[in-house]
Amino acid sequence: MVQNLVITNTVREALVAAFVSFKNVPAQQIAGTQSGTTYYAFVPSTGTYWALASFLPTSSASLQTDVSLQDGGSMGIFDEQPGEGWKMLAQGVEPFWPSRTAIPSAVLTLWGLSDVPACSQY
């Protein structure tokens, strides 16, 4: 059964690092996750942790970083497979967020998020 988890600061920091790596933006220009946008779960049958979060730029972020976070660019889908670190799988593109092709339906249901049927086309 899928388990909803409370995110720790250590996991939050790992998500920021994975986001920075995926987006190729300077770490010092990302302030962290946006309040109320972080979801975290564990799927025991696969040993996989899942997370979904939106990120904020710092007040001193460059215009390039600010632009890269627009139009869904601030949202990330993450997983952590057994024996591996967190990796960002995809970024969000509204209105097709979150994507059922990236996050298992059972996890979306647990989080109370809608499974957008149009996602399966992308």
Look at residue 94 and tell me whether its pLDDT is greater than 90: no
Q: DSSP characters for 11-69?
A: HHHHHHHHHHHHHT--GGGEEEEPTT--EEEEETTTTEEEEEEEEEE-TT--HHHHHHT
Residue with tokens 């957008």: 116
Every domain of the chain and the residues it spans: 3-121
Mean pLDDT of the chain: 85
**Span 33-55, average pLDDT:** 93
Q: Say what percent of the chain tops pLDDT 90.
A: 60
Closest of 70, 69, 59 to residue 23, by C-alpha: 69
What are the backbone dihedrals phi and psi of residue 121, each rounded to the nearest 5 degrees, phi first? -85, -10
How far, in Å, CA of 118 to CA of 103, rounded? 14
Q: How confident is the model at residue 121 (pLDDT cuts 50, 70, 90)?
A: very low
CA max distance for the chain? 43
Q: Which residues contact 67 (CB under 8 A, 6 or more apart)?
A: none
How far, in Å, CA of 111 to CA of 9, rounded? 20
What confidence tens digit (pLDDT) does each residue in 50-77 have?
A: 999 999 999 999 999 999 888 778 889 8
Residue with the bigger pLDDT between 101 and 20: it is 20
Question: How much is the pTM?
Answer: 0.84
